[in-house]
Structure 1
Amino acid sequence: MGIGATAGVAAAGGFALSANASGTSKSSASSDALVFDPDAYTKLTKTVTDTDGNDHSVVYHFWKAITYVASPVDATYQSLIVSSPVEIDGTAVDASNAPILLANSVGGYMPASVATATEVGGGGSAMGGGAPSGAPTGSAAPSASASTSNANGNTNATGGATSSNQLLALAAGYVVIEPGARGRTLKNSDGEYYGTAPAAIVDLKAAVRYIRSNKGRIPGNVERIVSAGTSAGGALSSLLGASGDSKIYDKYLKELGAADASDAIFATGAWCPITDLEHADGAYEFNWGTNALSTGKQVDQTVSKELQSQFAEYQAALKLRGLNGFGTLTARNYDEYLVEQYLEPSATKYLAALSDSDRSTYLAANTFITWSGGKATFTWADFLTHVGARKKDAPSFDAFDLSAGENNEFGADTTLARHFTAYGAKNDTTGLTTKRVASDIAEKLDLMNPMYHFAKKNPGRSKHWWIRLGTKDSDTSLTVSANIAAAASALGDDVNHLYYWDEGHGSNIDPADFITWIAKVTGHTKRAAAAK
């Protein structure tokens, strides 16, 4: 399902929304395709229920799909929508200098479109913010379930992070901009794929350039753009943050006729990012290698151990130091780091918030946790047993039979799927004549990996990071987010990173905190810009 909620239906994040109440529409033509028309909006009204259960009436201006490049490959996807509040709970607001939440709805590296959106939150991915599918054609359901149940028994649509964030941001007085982007399944009449890597990140960069080039015309502070995305959308959000103004994208942006402006963003929000793809198989086996599949079957342990060795080499080469003075992160101590830095604090926070009775019930059902002095402690091995079945086979991302969604993400021309690691290519089972990765893969991997830009100490990167992941999310490795956090922190960036206890893929259980964080890092006082 897409990330937009229907009228009157509760959406992820603890709020509901009412039907639109349309007002007067305004429109005017522009001779320049990349000049935003501030008068071409429709006036809408929405009721947003915040996470405390309070209703807020928001009147906002809505701009329907605007193509953000001069020479689009497919305007159905290379367009964005804009929502800007003008009145909240009866009080007029001026959002001209408010933060801009740039919320993408990409899931599974699939195409996302806002072409038919008629309200805020109206964008959607073919897979609704879920994890990459095992069906490169996009014809089947994602390998990750379309929804995940959180610790309170509520069901959150994957991709819900951006949906809840969008509406809460609007009710907080922020401008919300939702960009579409090309995705891996798009084919032209000649059977050529035109949405595979690096199309999605190039599109999001072009959207940022469009926004920044329209300073003074488009509502909001273009110097305070905060990106948000979930799963593959979280990967793209983190990549957008890490790669600001990197020259390696220039030729792609020029081909599209992107605006001549910066594509740097101010802050990054990323939920369960599926990224660092060329090292994702090793990271996954380090994390979940001993966990059986839901069928009870163990994955090939020879493959698992070989991939774990690759992870050990990669992690050592990164030379990253853990947060809070932990020391250099290696395959030997990463389990200890995850337990101490993230997992025990996550469990502690969860248990402390329960009533005495509920806590006792939970601890009785989960005896691997020692609860003493208001703190939860446990071992890595017991944590893995607690999580249970792993979601993916081995290799999880560069499948030997080219069946993973990521194989399709690196497809090219009329080739549906390709290997992007030497290990995957060497062990190919599809009968390829050459068991080597194609010559263009190395460049595409750099274009798609935020870790590449951290290693380059990219000066145009985002300096503020909000990163979230569920502890039961075996769509990816827990190390992926932790490495992003460690890399950003090592460069002096502000990092707010935690894991949600017992949550699965796509969860966002603290959306109000994210909205407050945006105000803090951007220096925006809630509704400070009340209209005079």
Structure 2
Amino acid sequence: MKHRAIKRRNVVIGIGAAAGAAAVGGIALNAGAATASTTANGDSDLVFDPDAYTKLTTTVTDTEGTEHAVTYHFWKAITYVSKPVDATYQSLIVSAPVEIDGTAVDASNAPILLANSIGGYMPSSVADATGVGGGAMGGGGAPGGAPTGSAAPSASTSATSTSNANQNTNATGGATSSNQLLALAAGYVVIEPGARGRTLKNSAGEYYGTAPAAIVDLKAAVRYIKANKGRIPGNVERIVSAGTSAGGALSSLLGASGDSPLYDKLLEEIGAADASDAVFAVGAWCPITDLEHADGAYEWNWGTNALSTGKQVDQTVSKDLQSQFAEYQAKLRLRGLKGSGFGTLTARNYDEYLLKQYMEPSATTYLAALSDSDRETYLAKNTFITWDGEKAGFTWDGFLTHVGARKKTVPAFDAFDLSAGENNLFGAGTTQNRHFTAYGAKNDTTGIGSRRVASDIPEKLNLMNPMYHLVEKVNGKRSKHWWIRLGTNDTDTSHVISANLAARAENLGDEVNHLYYWDQGHGANTDPGDFITWIAKVTGYKKARTK
């Protein structure tokens, strides 16, 4: 069921204590960060200044159509590492509510929604953000200095801005912007980190945002937050990560890999705070992840679907990749979610599992919410669905035909001609694109370099894949709460990718809330209000405390 749009209007109504921006050795520091102060872990140049905020007001219209007036403190872009490669991206913004509908609130112990705006593994920046929901994808370029707007607000600051946050958007991370607004209106603290991305290139032609830069940056942001416990608003032990598409993949990875020592050296290189990078819970929408197995999973799911041109992809390649998926799925030894009635999930029974666990319940929820006349019209147009008055039913083939054209060619992620965005993600040095699977490298059509993957690729794959931390090296410091969503019509990835993630997390004993949105595509978020309620439930947070 679609909810109403969530709107916000920002107006500066006051100013927090201001301080000048500082820089040491050419490194931009948080505006107002006193070098004489230190965090709980002794990082003198990574101190959050609780007084360097701007006071803003926002009107948030919730999913029921009710408007809420929210006053909040907003901290402009703060560099979260002491040795940034590019502070334009390695910065975060903070929004903390202080008054909701005329009642003063205390968010000092509220959950923290850590919402990234990463899409396509591209760079994301909050440098120019002027209020909550201000994260945006950025372009390439040479590393810069202090992010624009990083200085504390001056006494003469005055601005007005308007924007809308819709539930259904594209894959740039905007799908979760409604989460930020609703979280703020619920009394939560919202922190939005920027991160380097795959297209960034310096003046020497070297790519400095390829794997694993983005996850290293997000971990550094978490470390900054936790190192400033008692100074930064919110409960730093109740951080809930959220993201869409590649941002959803990174959110999952952040949750799965908490405190993994594999990242320590990389974090040290950029001057991350000496603190934990584990997060409490994960929100992931249509995660583009498990990249080394994504081609096989995609062909298992969409191999028989034609492209939008009506042309079929190379079925020989498709079948090769489907066979690889079958072998991988067998090795995982995953069990279906509790109550599903499914034991080990294999390439042979996964279609039935997806139907019974996700697709038919999703269609049932959708149809039940329609008026009788609208339901009758929908069923007349979609005769592959049977409806007994209470439950929807259909076949896997019927479902595939209903979805229609696949979005990606074959292979979908490690393209033979190195044209996929994921090929760029694994670029290195001055090499823009590289293969990251043996099959992709073996069948390379570019004639560039070796037909084998580079020696550094296996380690980078481990650093980028949440399944590695959940299956190969089970991480005890992982998040134990998972909110995972995907549209049934999303052909940007395979449905088994998020289903595998959900199954493995639950098999490990974690709490999992996973469902598919009927007839929705990539980036859908049709139940943001439920996500906000779920955060309160899993974190044990009752309501915003009054001062």
Report the TM-score, using the length of structure 1 for normalisation: 0.92
Looking at structure 1, the residues matched to 242 and 136 of structure 2 have their Cα atoms a distance apart, in angstroms, of 14
The answer as to 2:108 corresponding to 1:96 is: yes
Looking at structure 1, the residues matched to 135 and 10 of structure 2 have their Cα atoms a distance apart, in angstroms, of 17
**Aligned to 2:407, what secondary structure does the other structure show?**
coil
Which residue in the other structure is 1:525 paired with? Answer: 542
Aligned AA (2:437): T
* Distance of aligned partners of 1:13 and 1:497 in 2 relative to their CA distance in 1, 3 Å threshold: farther
Q: 1:371 aligns with which of 371, 383, 387?
A: 387
Deviation sequence 1:405-447 (CA, Å, 0-9, x none): 0000000000000000000000000002410000000000000
Which residue in the other structure is 2:52 paired with? Answer: 40
User: Pairwise mapping of residues 345-424 of structure 1 onto structure 2 (< 5 A)?
Assistant: 345-424=361-440
Deviation sequence 1:440-488 (CA, Å, 0-9, x none): 0000000000000001220010000000000000000000000000010
Q: 1:177 aligns with which of 191, 209, 220?
A: 191
The answer as to 2:456 corresponding to 1:446 is: no
Looking at structure 2, the residues matched to 222 and 95 of structure 1 have their Cα atoms a distance apart, in angstroms, of 12
Q: Is the 8 A contact 2:196 2:217 kept in 1?
A: yes
Which residue in the other structure is 2:275 paired with? Answer: 261
Looking at structure 1, the residues matched to 9 and 236 of structure 2 have their Cα atoms a distance apart, in angstroms, of 29
**Aligned to 2:234, what secondary structure does the other structure show?**
coil
Which residue in the other structure is 2:443 paired with? Answer: 427
Deviation sequence 1:75-96 (CA, Å, 0-9, x none): 0000000000000000000000
**Aligned to 2:10, what secondary structure does the other structure show?**
coil
Aligned AA (1:82): V
Aligned AA (1:20): V
Which residue in the other structure is 1:507 paired with? Answer: 524
Q: 2:86 aligns with which of 59, 74, 91?
A: 74
Aligned AA (1:520): K
The answer as to 2:5 corresponding to 1:14 is: yes
Shift of 1:154: 8.6
Which residue in the other structure is 1:115 paired with? Answer: 127
Looking at structure 2, the residues matched to 157 and 390 of structure 1 have their Cα atoms a distance apart, in angstroms, of 17
Shift of 1:295: 0.1
Looking at structure 2, the residues matched to 168 and 484 of structure 1 have their Cα atoms a distance apart, in angstroms, of 26
The answer as to 2:78 corresponding to 1:87 is: no
Q: Is the 8 A contact 2:72 2:95 kept in 1?
A: yes
Structural RMSD (CA): 1.7
Identity %: 78
Shift of 1:510: 0.1
Looking at structure 2, the residues matched to 402 and 333 of structure 1 have their Cα atoms a distance apart, in angstroms, of 33
Aligned AA (2:89): Y
Aligned AA (1:216): G
Shift of 1:156: 2.7
* Distance of aligned partners of 1:432 and 1:366 in 2 relative to their CA distance in 1, 3 Å threshold: same
Looking at structure 2, the residues matched to 331 and 407 of structure 1 have their Cα atoms a distance apart, in angstroms, of 26
Looking at structure 1, the residues matched to 206 and 320 of structure 2 have their Cα atoms a distance apart, in angstroms, of 35
**Aligned to 2:7, what secondary structure does the other structure show?**
coil
Which residue in the other structure is 1:470 paired with? Answer: 487
Looking at structure 1, the residues matched to 286 and 407 of structure 2 have their Cα atoms a distance apart, in angstroms, of 14
Shift of 1:155: 5.6
**Aligned to 2:11, what secondary structure does the other structure show?**
coil
Unpaired runs of 5+ in structure 1?
1-10, 128-134, 136-152
Deviation sequence 1:64-112 (CA, Å, 0-9, x none): 0000001000000000000000000000000000000000000000000
Which residue in the other structure is 1:290 paired with? Answer: 304
Q: Is the 8 A contact 1:99 1:524 kept in 2?
A: yes
Looking at structure 2, the residues matched to 36 and 374 of structure 1 have their Cα atoms a distance apart, in angstroms, of 54
Looking at structure 1, the residues matched to 81 and 67 of structure 2 have their Cα atoms a distance apart, in angstroms, of 37
Shift of 1:326: 1.0
Q: 2:318 aligns with which of 304, 309, 330?
A: 304
Looking at structure 1, the residues matched to 320 and 175 of structure 2 have their Cα atoms a distance apart, in angstroms, of 35
Q: Is the 8 A contact 1:242 1:454 kept in 2?
A: yes
Which residue in the other structure is 1:132 paired with? Answer: none
Looking at structure 1, the residues matched to 517 and 503 of structure 2 have their Cα atoms a distance apart, in angstroms, of 18
Looking at structure 2, the residues matched to 358 and 43 of structure 1 have their Cα atoms a distance apart, in angstroms, of 46
Shift of 1:18: 1.5
Q: Is the 8 A contact 1:270 1:467 kept in 2?
A: yes
Looking at structure 1, the residues matched to 89 and 263 of structure 2 have their Cα atoms a distance apart, in angstroms, of 19
**Aligned to 1:285, what secondary structure does the other structure show?**
helix
Q: 1:206 aligns with which of 197, 220, 224?
A: 220
Looking at structure 1, the residues matched to 475 and 265 of structure 2 have their Cα atoms a distance apart, in angstroms, of 18
Which residue in the other structure is 1:140 paired with? Answer: none
Unpaired runs of 5+ in structure 2?
20-31, 36-43, 141-165
Looking at structure 2, the residues matched to 440 and 163 of structure 1 have their Cα atoms a distance apart, in angstroms, of 35
Shift of 1:17: 1.2
Q: 1:231 aligns with which of 245, 260, 267?
A: 245
Shift of 1:15: 1.0
Q: Is the 8 A contact 1:320 1:329 kept in 2?
A: yes
Shift of 1:19: 3.5
Shift of 1:16: 1.1
Shift of 1:530: 1.3
**Aligned to 1:156, what secondary structure does the other structure show?**
coil
**Aligned to 1:328, what secondary structure does the other structure show?**
coil
User: Pairwise mapping of residues 47-62 of structure 1 onto structure 2 (< 5 A)?
Assistant: 47-62=59-74
Aligned AA (1:461): R
> Which is further off, 24-33 or 280-289?
24-33
Q: Is the 8 A contact 1:391 1:475 kept in 2?
A: yes
Q: Is the 8 A contact 1:165 1:511 kept in 2?
A: yes
Looking at structure 1, the residues matched to 449 and 255 of structure 2 have their Cα atoms a distance apart, in angstroms, of 39
Q: Is the 8 A contact 1:342 1:498 kept in 2?
A: yes
Q: Is the 8 A contact 1:12 1:160 kept in 2?
A: no
Q: 2:203 aligns with which of 180, 189, 208?
A: 189
Q: Is the 8 A contact 1:287 1:478 kept in 2?
A: yes
The answer as to 2:179 corresponding to 1:156 is: no
Aligned AA (1:415): T
Q: Is the 8 A contact 1:229 1:235 kept in 2?
A: yes
Deviation sequence 1:274-296 (CA, Å, 0-9, x none): 00000000000000000000000
